[in-house]
A and B are shown apart, each in its own frame.
Chain A
Amino acid sequence: QQQVKQSPQSLIVQKGGISIINCAYENTAFDYFPWYQQFPGKGPALLIAIRPDVSEKKEGRFTISFNKSAKQFSLHIMDSQPGDSATYFCAATGNTDKLIFGTGTRLQVFP
């Protein structure tokens, strides 16, 4: 019940395309859903986060869509750029600093 399932494991997108990463959770006590971006040799960095009282949040080219009834949320990267090539992790937590992470998606954006 503590798991967060993430797909796909890897994603190859052409420059300018849309990258979509999906996550699903089971624990209804989760109420904060961040996405992290990690480059090789670096720690994860917060990209964007959402709480379940909204269905969508957009920041620049990055959008989170949230479906509370389906217990699913997804990250959309519009106009993907080679600089977006990184590993992306979804996560969830319920009023604690204990983040439960998805398994990660390695995104490669080719020019």
Chain B
Amino acid sequence: KAGVTQTPRYLIKTRGQQVTLSCSPISGHRSVSWYQQTPGQGLQFLFEYFSETQRNKGNFPGRFSGRQFSNSRSEMNVSTLELGDSALYLCASSLLTGGFHEQFFGPGTRLTVL
């Protein structure tokens, strides 16, 4: 069974630009969560989608948004990029929502903002 895939794996953008990251969950998984990982702040929850609906949202500004499609694939968008948005963005999928279901992480997208 294929794991969680994220594209692109690496991305370089400049301040003020916007970026879209993509995540394909494990086949059959309906919940997708996004996390930001930085050396300073560690792993922080961005948002979670289940059946195309956002179920939870972390403490990030409105520049960070996401969506989920009917095939459970998800995208996250960051507008007006800032230097501090440089991070590894991780996507995780689980079979169902509700906390007790194992979340499988993808390899991440490394975003560098110059």
Closest Cβ of chain B to A30, distance in Å, is 9
Q: Say yes or no: is A7 at the interface (Cβ < 8 Å to chain B).
A: no
Residues of A within 8 A of B48 (CB): 96-98
By secondary structure, the B interface counts as strand
For residue B99, CB closer than 8 A to chain A, the reply is yes
Residues of B within 8 A of A94 (CB): 99
A103 CB-CB contact with B under 8 Å: yes
* Count of chain A residues with a beta carbon within 8 Å of a chain B beta carbon: 25
Q: Are B33 and A97 in contact (CB under 8 A)?
A: yes
**Which B residues are within 8 Å of any A CB, using their own CB?**
4, 31, 33, 35, 42-45, 48, 50, 55-56, 58, 90, 92, 94, 97-108
B108 touching A97, Cβ below 8 Å? no
Set of chain A residues within 8 Å of B107, measured between Cβ atoms: 41-43
Q: A34–B103 Cα gap in the complex (Å)?
A: 10
Closest to A30 in B: B99
Is A79 an interface residue, CB under 8 A from the partner?
no
Residue from A31, A51, A96 within 8 A of B97 (CB atoms)? A96
- A96 lies within 8 A of B98 (CB): yes
Give the number of A-B contacts (CB < 8 Å).
69
A44 in the interface, Cβ–Cβ < 8 Å? Answer: yes
Q: Which 7 A-B pairs have the closest CB atoms?
A: A43-B105, A101-B43, A95-B99, A98-B56, A93-B99, A97-B48, A98-B45
A20 contacts the other chain (CB 8 A) = no
Whole-angstrom CA separation of A32 from B48 in the bound complex: 17
Complex Cα gap A49–B99 (Å): 11
Given contacts A41-B107, A43-B4, A43-B108, contact A97 B94 (CB under 8 A): yes
Q: Which residues of A contact B108 (CB under 8 A)?
A: 43
A8-36 interface with B by 8 A CB criterion? 31-32, 34, 36
A104 touches B42 (CB 8 A): yes
CB–CB A99/B103 < 8 A: yes
Of B42, B58, B104, which contacts A98 at CB under 8 A? B58
Query: Using Cβ atoms and an 8 Å threshold, which residues of chain B touch A31?
Result: 99
